[in-house]
Structure 1
Amino acid sequence: MPESSDAAELLRGADLAALDARLESTDQLLETRFPGDDGRRQPVHTVYVPADRYHPDLPAQWGAAATACVEANGGIEAVCRAAGLDDAIAAEVAPRVLAKLRSDPIEDLRLDFEDGYGQRPDAEEDGDAVATAQRLADAVTQGVAPAFVGLRFKCFEAPTRRRGLRTLDLFLGTLLRRLGTLPDGLVITFPKVSTVSQVEAMVDACERLEAAAGLPAGRLRFEIQVETPQLIIGPAGDHPVAAAIHAGRGRVSALHYGTYDYSASLQISAEYQSSDHPAADFAKQVMQVAVAGTTVHLSDGSTNVLPLGDTAQVEVAWRLHAGLVQRALERGFYQGWDLHPHQLPTRYAATFAFYRHGLPRALSRLGNYVSRADSQILDEPATARALARYLQRGLSCGAVEETELVAGSGLTASQVATLARPRSDTENLVPLS
């Protein structure tokens, strides 16, 4: 620091060095355990299908089924009405939803060997694990696999532990044999986690699988399904879900809330089990605090009220689904589960509307922040990061185009990415050239 003849420093170099030494472990903790969002894309949803029903054409068939449902029940205008969109936003959202259903209907696909598959003879599940992986390898080779795809195997409770691990082993081994590598967007879902010890055991299993397959250390990551109250509050009154993230040693990629298993564990009547129940909100708020500052993503759960039946019944289900999606987005849960093709229209209508509605204001605020223009709102670096991440999410799902970024804020997508994840607050002031 520059010296001044008027300076009267009270702390000397030895004092500062002592403080640095005292806080060295804290600095290391923050750097390694809480590095912040890593910038990887997060899908807006996860679609679950029983593993043995998967085939490479499934995403296209879901998109076609969703489009047919729209056409049979009042058109895209009816979807927008069910989502509560005003005419201006609906005009922006409608063509984007139809295009999404044609080109990219499923962003994240989970091939389910757990609840959606059930208990079957070992020989049958062995065969399905191999066959499903072969079909996925075909889809990857043909370029028709979703950006994110993987499996959910059976949980680590004693009755299903070995069965689940065998399915995971066969599935990964078959993919490696067919492709020579694992798909970049491979996702492994670890269900019904109750204790930190189960996560530690999963880490050990991943290490053993990597060693046996010759994979790089850390290649296998997994998302934890939060479906048991024991993971939210443990026997000691702590929150094991937070410890579970760090017990994963960098392998935990996401926490997914399990609406119905969690609700049932609390003895909530089936009639009232929902992702907007107060009990669900409590669990998800604990999850949200647990992942804050880490690289771990969050996902809401599902609704089992499906858009089926006559048009009136479809509209009721669409309205419920759109409302739950909007509610989750407002609360910082940018991903959820979809269980049926007919839920895709409202998933994308509500999601796109969320980003379209706030787009002009976000562009203006971020542009003013970077250019240091006078504004009624004085945003801080943390708010600038949040605005940039909001825009990035809109870009990645197709709600926003880069040309709109440039026109509205003067920023390119790469500049927004720098704003979203700076190495220091000074990097928030990116050049406009």
Structure 2
Amino acid sequence: MSSYIDSEIGLEVKYGLPAKVRFCKKCVLSNQRPQPTGEFRFTPESAKLTTGFDEQGVCLACRYAEMKDSAIDWDYREKELIALCDRFRSKDGSYDCIVPGSGGKDSAFTSHILKHKYGMHPLTVTWAPHVYTEIGWKNFQGWIHSGFDNVLVTPNGHIHRLLTRLAFENLLHPFQPFVFGQRFAGLRMAQKFNIPLVFHGESPFEYGSSTIGEAEARGFEKSYFCSEGDLSKTFIGGVSVTDLVRDHGVSLNDLQLYLPFTHSELDKFPLEYHFLGYYLKWDPQEVYYYAVEHTGFEANPERTEGTYSKYASLDDRIDGFHYYTSFIKFGLGRATMDAAQEIRNHKISREEGIALVARYDGEFPNRYFQEVLDYMNISEEYFWQLIDAARSPHLWKKENGEWKLRHSITEEL
């Protein structure tokens, strides 16, 4: 775990984060949110780069939102999309693109609009959640029955549980094995069915990636999916693949769904990976309305724990713990992420966003707690030991037996 003692504040700083906490002047995001570098070390050291701020104290996600509003010719971008589709569109109705997703609002929107407005023939690919929620399974079924073929990729349950526990123990990141499978499942199916075009929905630049180059904004580059193939330097759950095989009774074949491509693999299979959000102006709330109208998508009947919204990240019972552990490590919870994007998309004011963060950020996800403990085969006592050990002293302090953030945007209320 990357850490250092900052001489100015005299405190340990974990995960390679900046010692001085700053909040964006336009939204509620802080500079503590890590950005993946694309390296396949799969350790905290792979995420040292944090959300950038400009000289005016505004995060790059907000600057990108400004670009969306005033500096991008969306008519021209749509013409680029049409030209891209024209290059790949099948003439006989066979699959011509892959849309990875769960049947949530983003993948429902992406697949439906590509099929019905742009005449594409998508094959949808789903990397199964750890444990489906009732609403997640219902939306997945609604997506398929609205008119899409789907490949559901379900990993070995024993291996997935093991990797999830290791990721929680070593990285406080129980969602990491799911993220890896999600990253590669669509590409593996693209390779299997010889479909060289993959569409993802929203771009990571919506959430503050550190560069906004045009090439990167169009889609992931090949390096995002590739490694040099050295299994001793490829980590899952904070453990090298070599050590997983040697120490945990795992075969290399058991891990294939989680591993990156080698450069030679993708050299043999030319692939284009594009963000629909580069070509069409992305608005999560409008995407939600579209999915409701066209695929029968339903919001959660209850408010999602840790935030105020009901329509995002609904399908996996471990979702809430992904956001809660992010709150512990970086001081940024689910309500922060939701409020930041809604401020950028002009749905709420910054003052409203700060109030929502004050009310909901860091709320513990009790609903599925016992199921998650059982899934990872750990005790509640051990869970809290790992949680508290992961707190970075530059972010957290203990007062009267309770943990409190040293810095909070709610101080601006």
* Fold similarity call, TM over 0.5: no
Bigger radius of gyration: 1
Q: TM-score range by the shorter chain?
A: under 0.3
Bigger RCO of structures 1 and 2 (CA < 8 A, at least 6 apart): 2
Higher fraction of helix: 1
TM-score for both structures, normalised by structure 1? 0.22
